[in-house]
Structure formats: structure tokens, C-alpha cells
Amino acid sequence: MAQQNHNMLEVSGLKKRFGDDIVLDGVDLTVSRGEVVVILGSSGCGKSTLLRCINGLESVDEGSIRIDGEEVAVGSRSLTRLRQKIGMVFQSYDLFPHKNILDNITLAPVKVQKRSKQEARAQAEQLLRRVGLWEKRKAYPRELSGGQKQRVAIVRALCLNPEIMLFDEVTAALDPEMVREVLDVMLELAQGGMTMLIVTHEMQFARAVADRIVFLDEGKVLENLPAEEFFENPRTQRAKDFLQTFEFKKQ
């Protein structure tokens, strides 16, 4: 197939301002098919904005974003179609509170992708079983724990058969015991060959899951290295300082 020649995601020269604030200042980033890239950086460095731009939730001021060779353009007709190639999971639980778990998952496959109810349900069942939540299919989001909600949110995105998954600090709002169950699902996905772009503050997880680390600071890519190399031997002082903040030593 011709499209195999494209990178799954290509971001080039991306600039984004909010008023006078420059949030993204010329970001270049490529993610190839099957690759897992983790974006690190302190709060306010533009990580979330980058993901939102990729998904077309924010318009960009300069530069371009291509998914599978196709330009992401806010407000264009192709955007809705393109978004089906992108699965996104947000930090805050974003399930639809008035629909039960199964309806949350099958809504877009049925209404947007025009798939049959039975077929969408079958896939939902398979995915829910995989994350251990099939028995919760009739429950409403309010009856689930934070970790369960995030697993459902992942399943909901997966049910559209996306080609790349974006995760925006999906465990940041969770109780510590619940972080694990969500990260395990993501690890399994990565091992299954899913292309993933992950924003997280879980360093150990990042190290375990990532093929490559992109370190953002003040809207610029400071480092773009294979994961081991980044953690063992970061190039910039800024990245060293950043990693230092996650280390605890007895005084």
C-alpha cells in the first residue's frame, strides 16, 4: 500500500500562541507506524496543547500536522474522518454520563462509522473483556472508579479502530492504586503494536513503554532520543534537572 510510506504522524514547524503566550514554538515530531513515543516536560511546557493540536481540537498558527500523510485542518470536512484514525484519551474522565458503558463505546462506531449495532457490540465486548470490565457494560460512568472509567475511555477510543492513540496524562487524576490498572492496559496496547503518543508524568512507566522520548520545554523540543538513552544520558542540563526532580535520596 502506498500509504505505508508515510509516517503515522508528522509534525513540522508547529507554532501555537494563546494571545501573547507562545505555547508551541516550532515543534518537529515524527512517529512511525507501531512506535510508542512519550512526551515529557514540566507543566505548561505545551505537551497537552501539542496533543490537542494533533487531534484538531486547537487550531495551529504555523506549521503542519499530518496523520498518515493527510493534513489535519481545523474546520475542514476531512477532520471528522481523520479523527477516526486518531484515538484520544483525556486526563479528566470524559465518558458520557447519561449513557451506559456499552452505549458510550458503541455510539461513535454506530453513528459515525455507520457500522451495525451487533458488530460494534461484538468488538466492544471483546475489548471490554480484555480490560476486565465486560460485567460493567450496563453500568453508568458514575458507578465506576476513576481507573475503570479511564479503561473504558481507552476501549471507547479503540473501538473506532484508530491507527494512532493519543494519551493526555490519563493517570494524573487517579488515586495511586488505580494508576497501575490503566498503565497495564496501555503497556499491553503498546506490545500489541499500536502506534502511541503519550503524555505522562509516570517516569517508570515512560521508561517501560516508550521507544522514544521527546522532551519539551517552553514549547520547544529539547531532546528526541531513544528511551534508554534519554534516561541514562540526557543531553541537556534542562532534561537532567527535570529527571532529577523525580529522584529521592536520603539527605
Partner 1 sequence: MKYLDWNFITKYAPLYAEAAKLTVFIAFWGILLAFAVGVICSAALYYKVPVLRRIIQAYIELSRNTPLLVQLFFLYFGLPNIGIVWSGETCAIIGIAFLGGSYMTETLRSGLESIDKIQEESAASLGLNKWLTMKEIIFPQAMAISVPGICANVIFLIKETSVVSGIALADLMYVAKDLIGLYYKTDESLTMLVIAYLIILLPVSIIATLLERRMRHAGFGN
For partner 1, the binding residues (CB under 8 A) are: 55-57, 80-81, 83-84, 86-88, 90, 92-98, 107-108, 111-113, 140-142, 149, 153, 156-157, 160
Shortest Å distance, C-beta 187 to partner 1: 22
Shortest Å distance, C-beta 24 to partner 1: 18
Pairing of the two strands 212-217 and 36-40: parallel
Q: Is the dihedral of CA 88, 92, 94, 100 positive or negative?
A: positive
Shortest Å distance, C-beta 67 to partner 1: 13
82/100 Cα distance (integer angstroms): 26
CB-nearer residue toward partner 1: 116 or 233: 116
Q: Is the dihedral of CA 151, 153, 154, 156 positive or negative?
A: positive
CB-nearer residue toward partner 1: 167 or 205: 167
C-alpha cell of 128? 471490554
CB-nearer residue toward partner 1: 22 or 108: 108
Shortest Å distance, C-beta 127 to partner 1: 15
Q: How big is the CA angle at 197 (ends 200 and 188), to the nearest 5 degrees?
A: 85
Question: Edge-to-edge strand order for the sheet containing 195-199?
Answer: 86-89, 164-168, 195-199, 36-40, 212-217, 220-226
CB-nearer residue toward partner 1: 161 or 204: 161
Shortest Å distance, C-beta 172 to partner 1: 14
156/159 Cα distance (integer angstroms): 5
CB-nearer residue toward partner 1: 147 or 234: 147
Q: Which residues is 216 bridged to in the sheet?
A: 221
